[in-house]
Structure 1
Amino acid sequence: MSSCLEVSRASLSLSQLRILALASLGGALEFYDFVIFAFLAKLIAAHFFPASQAEWLRQAEAFGLFGAGYLARPLGGIVMAHFGDTSGRKKIFTLSVLLMAVPTLMMGLLPSYQTLGVSAPLILLLLRIMQGAAIGGEAPGGWVFVSEHAPRGRIGLATGLLTGGLTGGIFLGSVVILTMHSIMKPDDVAAWGWRIPFILGGIFGFAAMFLRRWLDETPIFREMQEKAKTASTLPAKILIRDHRRSILCSMMMTWTLTAAIVVLILMMPPMMQTLHNISSSETMLASLAATLCLTLSVVAASALTDTVSLKTLSAICGVGLAIGAMGLYSVSPLFPHTLVFWAAFSGLCCGFVGLVPIGMLRAFPAMVRFSGVSLSYNISYAVFGGLTPAIISTLTPQTPVAPAIYVAFTAIIGCIALYFSPTEDSASRKNKVR
């Protein structure tokens, strides 16, 4: 009884808060670096592809480069996670920031097609692949790192603050782009101003890498090293042999996460403009409101897992996610001037996103935790992150509420996956890791 009270009263020390702050800052900057490419795709297309091509073709090629980053995530995440489970969490956690900062800075400095010819888009493709590999290790590495540093009674809070930092990177990217457009002339933005967000991202990334050098290795990994319980064979082999159920459930949870992020946040502005003729300025404001509320909701939902059953929260948040999607795509079009409100409401209903990393962390024992989370998260994100826009685009002509129906369907899938997902304790007993 006393031990339970001790756990419930556990708090984050100053050292743990410092670790959490550095981890969240680096994660936010990495996601900022990753998404500004999408925000500036039209200008990138004009600079890195032949002017003789049609504008729609150049933009399609630019989004193709954006998609290449998603395809690189699984490979980069799996490779980085392998060394994270065998050599240490800290080394890989620091390396991921460097792998993001270098290509981001180089994108801001890379000469255009007029100067380098066909080499320009090829180099840009390579840089984008490097970014994808880095982001593939950042989120799983961050979740594992902070959860293994946090006291048991505050793992949910610590993980949620990191997840909020990751989504906050999207918000930061939106703010930087809006600020640039508000203080610069359109011709200047098109000529050279678009490079500024990339250069800033690269500089901030190097600063985050320097600060992460002062992080300590996680206590759990140090204990595994002392007891010689790090993976003696390939972590991926152990996962496929002993943790197939955990992998499947984690991938299904991530499907729900991608649906919430892609459909309610990233696809919402262009869909509202196309389907309901809402102005771009209003949809961008709605996107900011949705992202801010998403950040708050994932922190709150994750923190609640320290005191409330994950299965109970998954049912509540799953229903909330469906309601938020329905409000955004079925109610707001009836009252276009309320879009910002419904976008913010849908963001608040995205608490399920905060439950996903908690579920994945609990599904794998420490010996293969980094690899398990990374494998499940990155493969699922690559598959469903790529398929979701195509599915929505196919279904929307049939009914304008198709996006909401799709999100509601994935919410059901995610709730089922969280309910049947193994827990860390059972997995630990099976593998005798913790």
Structure 2
Amino acid sequence: MHRARTVKPPSMLRLAAAALAGTAIEFYDFFIYGTAAALVLGPLFFPTFSPLAGTLAAFGTFGVGFVARPLGSVLFGHIGDRHGRRPVLVASLLLTGASTVAVGCVPTYASIGTAAPVLLLVLRFLQGLGLGGEWGGAVLLTAEHAPPDRRGLWSSFPQIGPALGFVLANGVMLGLSATLSDAQFASWGWRVPFWAAGVLAAAGLWLRSSLAESPRFLEMREHARVPLVEVVRGHWRLVLLTAGALSVGYALFYAVTTWSLAYATERLGVSRTVMLAIIMAAVVVKGALTPLVAVLSDRYGRRPLCLAGCAGAAVWMFPMIALLSTGEPLLMFLGFLVALIAFVTMFAVIAAYLPELYEPRVRCTGAAVGYNLGGVLGGALTPIVATAIADQSGRVPWGVAAYLTGIALLSLGCFALLPETRFVKVAAVEPATS
């Protein structure tokens, strides 16, 4: 049992910046694997497979990270609800960083045989485990410090982190791809971004070493003994609804950033460098729009924006696939950009929305489990399903568009069943200063 304590409000800007930096580093680790899976892991770790089967197998190891994320949210959510949000940020970053560096050291199938893909699988699982804890800790630390009328804005900073992590990961890959020969890239170049994760993780740990604990956690008198049990007993419907609601965001993002990269380079003959540049440009715009959309949620509410984003995604999937199939860089960029605008209309507000949906004693576990289960439904399956569907399609993979539209409609229904939370009280102590 913890006694209520009064803490001096920290700088909100400093907190938000540290949360943003941490999520950027963690998502760099997670995204660099997805890019490598789309470009190079298939032939290096599954050389006995056909090109299609090798890509599917590489995406399978990619999907394992998403399966691990809900388990990570349970593990680190327990720590966050029992012992504080701050320890979660340090432990999750350490785990994800170490496993990412290790991926860059795994010998290929040609060197150690089947042990190579097995090691890859284990390390990808550990990556997902760490990332499953990261989001809940970073988001709650900002949401529970933020003043109520600006909670959407300040909580959106961790949501900018994935865009920065993606641009950083793919920028490194783009630089290597443009300067190395195909043989050099396949031999050692793809490993460099994984090794760089060690330096980034050290920087992130330094940034987070002086963060203040969440005031909402400190002022709680009793904490859940087994948070997961309480979530399952009292909030199972909410968890399922949030997972279903968020699945379209994951499906959209990984259809654009992972599946389309493999599809365009393998099926359409678009160069690796061009595709990475197009996707990065669209993601940069998405990141820049995140705080602007979050401000709208503070004024108009979380739920209306989420519904609008889902509706936009449902309408845009067929045009996006049509534009992708042209193989023309500007048209593909337009398709990706509109899709990611629909994505950010939902995910810019999620960092405030999910903490407001769950009661404080199980908030770290409940919000993180719902968020990461959505990743399993939308992120883990989309590259695999889309690759398989596209292989059975003609010149334009309309089946992929139908699949993504179906997920968007499912999420729209789930968001429709969730309440508005803009005026929910999250922190019961003096808010942080700006």
Question: Smaller-chain TM-score range?
Answer: 0.7 to 0.9
Q: Rate the CA distance shift 1:244–1:45 in 2: closer, same or farther, 3 A.
A: closer
Which is worse superposed, 198-207 or 419-428? 419-428
Q: Distance in 1 between matches of 2:181 and 2:96?
A: 29
Which is worse superposed, 53-62 or 170-179? 53-62
Code of the residue aligned with 2:245 in structure 1: it is M
Other structure's SS at 2:211 match: coil
RMSD of equivalent CA atoms: 3.2
Question: Shift of the alpha carbon at 1:312?
Answer: 2.6
Residue 353 of structure 1 pairs with residue 347 of structure 2: yes
CA deviation digits over 1:233-291, x for unaligned, max 9?
31112112222332122112111212221223332233445666655444333212222
Unaligned runs of 5+ in 2: 1-8, 430-434
Residue 16 of structure 1 pairs with residue 9 of structure 2: no
Q: Rate the CA distance shift 1:295–1:405 in 2: closer, same or farther, 3 A.
A: farther
Q: Rate the CA distance shift 1:79–1:405 in 2: closer, same or farther, 3 A.
A: same
CA deviation digits over 1:146-205, x for unaligned, max 9?
111222122111222211112321122111100112233433322222221111112211
Q: Identity rate of aligned residues, in percent?
A: 27
Alignment TM-score, normalising by the size of structure 1? 0.84
Aligned to 1:374, which of 354, 368, 379?
Answer: 368
Question: Shift of the alpha carbon at 1:120?
Answer: 4.0
Q: What is the 5 A alignment of 1:28-427? A: 28-41=24-37, 43-45=40-42, 47-48=44-45, 59-113=55-109, 116=112, 118-224=114-220, 228-231=221-224, 233-272=225-264, 278-331=270-323, 333=325, 336=328, 337-350=330-343, 351-393=345-387, 397=393, 400-422=397-419
Unaligned runs of 5+ in 1: 1-12
Q: Distance in 2 between matches of 1:57 and 1:90?
A: 42
Contact 2:72/2:130 (CA < 8 Å) preserved in 1?
yes
Q: Distance in 2 between matches of 1:394 and 1:125?
A: 21
Q: Distance in 2 between matches of 1:318 and 1:418?
A: 9
Contact 1:236/1:371 (CA < 8 Å) preserved in 2?
yes
CA deviation digits over 1:5-39, x for unaligned, max 9?
xxxxxxxx972211111111111111111121232
Q: Rate the CA distance shift 1:425–1:235 in 2: closer, same or farther, 3 A.
A: farther
* Residues paired across the two proteins, number: 415
Other structure's SS at 1:305 match: helix
Question: Shift of the alpha carbon at 1:304?
Answer: 1.4
Question: Shift of the alpha carbon at 1:104?
Answer: 1.5
| Higher RCO (C-alpha 8 Å, min separation 6) | 2
Other structure's SS at 2:86 match: helix
Alignment match, 1:8: none
Code of the residue aligned with 1:292 in structure 2: it is V
Question: Shift of the alpha carbon at 1:115?
Answer: 5.3
Contact 2:167/2:284 (CA < 8 Å) preserved in 1?
yes
Q: Distance in 2 between matches of 1:418 and 1:284?
A: 32
